[in-house]
Structure 1
């Protein structure tokens, strides 16, 4: 099965620590993650930003005054997926550290997550939609050789 065609613009804002994020996000890695998550051809911009820019975008476009890990601005789904994915480097790094996972692994998850949003997937509409999106993310990440990011939350809890 041929993967979808992808036109990719990968951008890094200027911020302290950007070198670590550039190292975790080689262009080929980003393209591979996105192409696996896409069901059709796409033109995507991926921008890695600092907390200030991430917070401003989240506040101005979603009405939420904090920096979040990934924002997806989807412009078209047919005949071509067109979207901007904005990843907030300090948030992604803090989450990766908290989850004790490599930065690149967490970026892979968020790139897939953002690409699914660009195609209309939404985890905030219902529990069923959230479960479907998580299952698709897990499937795509497995194809990339990445672990299931939701494995911890699905483990049965011990009584007591």
Structure 2
């Protein structure tokens, strides 16, 4: 599954939160097709998996780790039953952005090295860590931009 974060406007947020399961899928399609690739979107490809594991308890459990780190990827309000559409409010985005600023390369590497390889599809080698780190840096910068703009975030993985 490929992951994408979007920092949505308050109007988009209202539409999304008012939608039922079917309408969430339609909203997501619409937003993916119309998004112009600006600063309020970040693609994490498959690195979202390792990023979430590193920031939490090493699993893909959305509740598996302390807030606000858990909300950088899978933590938050899940809005769809068949795939990940995870909502994080603007207030939570500010908390996540602040927490991610404390993460350095050494800390992330120490967390990466203890991921349970039997439950993780990545290679878990130096190249995989570099891929994870590079994507994490993009996610951290994205959350800073979203927090500054007072936007909520949705993470999707399909």
Query: Common fold, TM-score beyond 0.5?
Result: no
Say which one has the larger Rg.
Answer: 1
Using the size of structure 2 for normalisation, the TM-score is 0.25
